[in-house]
Chain A
Amino acid sequence: MAEINMVTAINQALAELLASDPRVVLLGEDIGVNGGVFRVTEGLYERFGRDRVMDTPLAESGILGAAIGMAVGGLRPIAEIQFMGFLYPGLDQLISHAGRIRHRSLGALSVPMVVRIPYGGGIRAPEQHADSAEAYLVHTPGLKVVVPSTPYDAKGLLYAALAQDSPVAFLEPIRLYRLGRMEVPEGPYQVPIGPSRVAREGRDLSLFAWGAMVPLALACAEEIAREDGAEVEVVDLRTLAPVDVEGIGRSVRKTGRAVVVHEAPMTGGVGAEVVATINETAFWWLKAPVARVTGFDLPYPPYAWEEFYLPGSKRLLKALRETLRE
C-alpha cells in the first residue's frame, strides 16, 4: 500500500469516484485546467474532460445553487469552494436550500451533493484565507459536516459523503494537506459519517479536537504523559454534524475530565456544542469544569499575529494541566 498525503488521498478518491460513477461531476473555480489552487483536482480535467470537471465562472452562489439543481436532477456533484472565507457569497444556497429541500418536499426530493471546502489557518496566508467557519454549517439543519485529519479518513469520509442522500460539507484542513503521509488503500472504502475516532487512548482526560487541531492535541497528550504522568484521551470528532453524542459521552464517563480545542472563535463555536453534549451525557461523572481552548473572538488576524491567535501547545497544555489539577 502506498504512503500518501491528504491531497493525494482526496485526489485519488475523486478520480476513482469519477471513473466508477457517471453521475459524479466536479465543479468549482480553477479546479480544471489548473488542477485547483491546492492541486487537489490535479489531472482530473485531462482525464475526464470539461463536462465532468468544470471550471465555473467566479460565483459561489452559482456553484452551490447549480450543484443543488444537479443533485436534485440525478447527478452527484462535488463542488469546491476555493477557501472557506469565500463560501459566504454561496452560504444562502446551503442554508436556504441544500439543507431544506428534502424537508420542504416532504422527502420527495433530496440533495446528494458534497461541498469540499479548504479551511483553517497556520500557513501565513493573506487576509481572509484562513477562516474556520464550521459553526455556521453545523448550525444548519439538514447539512452534514465532516472534517478529516488524516489521509486515510479523508478518502474514506469522501466516499461516505458521496454515498449520503443529503448534502455534506467536507472541510479540508489546509495545514494538514501535505503534512505527513500514511498508508491509504486503493479502491473504495468508507469511513462512516457520525462516529468519532479515538486517536489516542487515555483514562484521565478527554480532549476533543478536529482538523489541524488533532496533531496538536496528540503532541500535547504525549507531553502530558511524559511530564505529568497523566493519560489524555484524544478524540478526533471527524464528523461535526451530526455530532457523535454517544462517543463524547462514553469517553467523558470514563475520564471524568474534558477539554475541547478548536481554531475558530470561542463564542458560538462548535466547542460550545461539545460542552453541552458532555453536560447531557456525562455531567455526573465530571470531576472538573470542561475547558475550551480556541481562537479568540476576533476575525482571523493578518499573519504576523497568527501564532498568537491560533491555539498552540502553550495554551492547550495550560488548560489540560488546570483541568487535570481540579
Chain B
Amino acid sequence: METWPIYRVMGPDANDEDRVPDPVKVKIYEDMVLLRTFDEKTITLQRQGRVGTFPPSIGQEASEIASAHALSKEDWLAPSYRDHGALYVHGVPFENVILFAMGKASSISGQVRALPTSIPIATHLPHAVGLAWAARRQGEAVVAMAYFGDGGTSEGDFHEALNFAGVLKAPVIFFCQNNGWAISVPVRWQTASPTLAQKALAYGVHGQRVDGNDALAVYQAVKAARERALAGEGPTLIEALTYRLGPHTTADDPSRYRPLEEWEVWRQRDPLVRLGRYLAERGLLSEAEQAAIQERARAWINRAVEAAEATPPVDPTAMFRYLYAEPPPRLLAQMQALQEEIG
C-alpha cells in the first residue's frame, strides 16, 4: 500500500531541508502578516456594513501566500473565492480586493495572469488544464495553478480536470487547501478516502501531502511541482493540510457545527506564529522587527481602505461595458433605457 507522508520543512517532524532563500522567507512572512491584517480589518468593515459578505483566510496564510510566491508572475493562476492572498502575491493590489468586497470591482485587475475568482466550486479546474496546455503549445515555460478546497474534490469537474491533465501531461498544479471543512461539512463526510492527495494516483498524476501551515514546505512543494511540470513530467495534486480558523464567510457561524476543541488545537498551530518563531530563532527577523512589520501592515491596510472608500459611487451603465467586444443593438438599447431611467 502506498503511504502518503506529510511533507514538512519546519519543526521537529521536518523531513526535508530548508532551501528557501532568506529574503524570500522574510517576504513570505511580511505578506502573511499583510493578509492576516487585511482579513481582520475586512471582517470589522463587514460588521460595520462597509463591505459585503467576505471569506477570510485566517489560519491559511502559509498555504495562500507561500504557494503563490513559488510561482513566476508569468504563470497562470485560477483562484477560488478565498484566494485574495494568492492573488495579491501574483499582482492584484489589496485596494482592489476591498473594492471587490464592496461589490464595486472585479476580483482581478490590471495585467495579472489570473482568471476571475471562481465562485462555483471546482468549475475552474478544467480551465487551469487548458491554460497550461495553451502555454505549452505556444512554447511558454510557464505553469497554471488552480486553487480550491477539500470540498472541491467532490465535484465532477475536479475529476475531469485531473484525468485530462494526466492524459495531456499538462504543466498544471492542483493546489488543494484541505482546511478541514466545506462550510459545515467535515472532510470525513466529503470523502471516504483517507487522504485527498491519493486521488491523484488513479489519474496517473503525482500526488503529495504537505503541511499547509508550514510556509516553507508549501513553498518548496509548489516549486518542485512547478519544476516537474516544466520538465514535462506532468501535473501534481498538492493537498495542503491547514485549517480555517475563522468563519466560512462573514455570513457563517461555525459554532453551529464545529467543535471548539478542534479549533483550539489548530489555533496552537497558527502558521504566522510558527514562521515568526522560526525566523526569530534563526536570527532572520527579531521579535521587534516582526512587531514593526505588523504595525506597518496595519497602517498600510488602513490607507488602502481609505483609498477604496474614497472612490466615487459606481457608474450605473458601466455594467454594460465589457460583456461583448461589440454590444448587440438590444443591449445598447437597454443601456440607453437605464440611462433615461436614472436621469
Contact = CB atoms under 8 A, between A and B. Distances in A.
Interface of A: 29-30, 32-35, 37, 55, 57-62, 85-86, 88-89, 124-129, 266-267, 296-299, 301-306, 308-309, 314-315, 318
A62 B107 CA distance: 29
Contact of A58 (B81, B104, B154, B330): B154
B85 interface: no
14 contacts: A33-B257, A57-B189, A58-B154, A58-B155, A126-B52, A126-B81, A267-B330, A298-B320, A298-B331, A302-B100, A302-B106, A305-B316, A305-B318, A308-B342
Contacts of B121: 58, 86
Nearest to B184: A34
Contacts of A298: 319-320, 323, 331
Contact of A89 (B105, B123, B252, B342): B123
A35 B120 contact: no
Contact of B316 (A33, A34, A308): A308
B245 interface: no
Contacts of B123: 89
B201 interface: no
A119 B331 CA distance: 24
Nearest to B252: A37
A127 B103 CA distance: 8
A232 to B, nearest CB: 20
Nearest to B103: A303
Interface of B: 52-53, 81, 100, 102-107, 119-121, 123, 151-152, 154-157, 182-185, 189-191, 249, 251-252, 256-257, 313-314, 316, 318-320, 323, 330-331, 334-335, 338, 341-342
State the majority secondary structure of interface residues on A.
loop
A288 B202 CA distance: 64
Given A89-B123, A267-B330, A299 B323 contact: yes
A296 B154 contact: no
Please list the 6 inter-chain residue pairs (A to B) with the smallest Cβ-Cβ separation, ordered nearest first: A34-B184, A303-B103, A57-B154, A58-B151, A128-B119, A308-B316
B342 A296 contact: no
B34 to A, nearest CB: 22
A126 B189 contact: no
Given A86-B120, A128-B120, A55 B185 contact: yes
Contacts of A301: 319
A70 to B, nearest CB: 18
B198 to A, nearest CB: 16
Contacts of B316: 305, 308
A35 B155 contact: no
Contacts, number: 112
A15 B335 CA distance: 46
A79 to B, nearest CB: 15
A87 to B, nearest CB: 10
Contacts of B119: 85, 126-129
B256 A35 contact: yes
Contacts of A267: 330
A57 B191 contact: yes
A199 B342 CA distance: 29
A314 B154 CA distance: 45
B179 to A, nearest CB: 13
Contacts of A55: 184-185, 189
Contact of A33 (B184, B249, B323, B334): B184
A86 B183 CA distance: 15
A59 B185 contact: no
A125 B100 CA distance: 12
Given A126-B119, A304-B314, 18 more contacts: A29-B182, A33-B184, A33-B257, A35-B256, A57-B191, A89-B123, A124-B53, A126-B52, A297-B330, A297-B331, A298-B320, A298-B323, A302-B103, A304-B102, A304-B104, A306-B103, A308-B316, A308-B342
Nearest to B254: A34
Contacts of B341: 314-315, 318
Contacts of A62: 154, 156
B184 A85 contact: no
B6 to A, nearest CB: 23
A60 B184 CA distance: 16
A59 B104 contact: no
A59 B257 contact: no
B256 A34 contact: yes
B118 to A, nearest CB: 9
Contacts of A61: 155-156
B342 A29 contact: no
A308 B319 contact: yes
A59 B156 contact: yes
A296 B334 contact: yes
Nearest to B119: A128
B156 A89 contact: yes
A128 B184 CA distance: 20
A61 B158 CA distance: 13
A55 to B, nearest CB: 5
A142 to B, nearest CB: 23
Nearest to B322: A298
A59 B120 contact: no
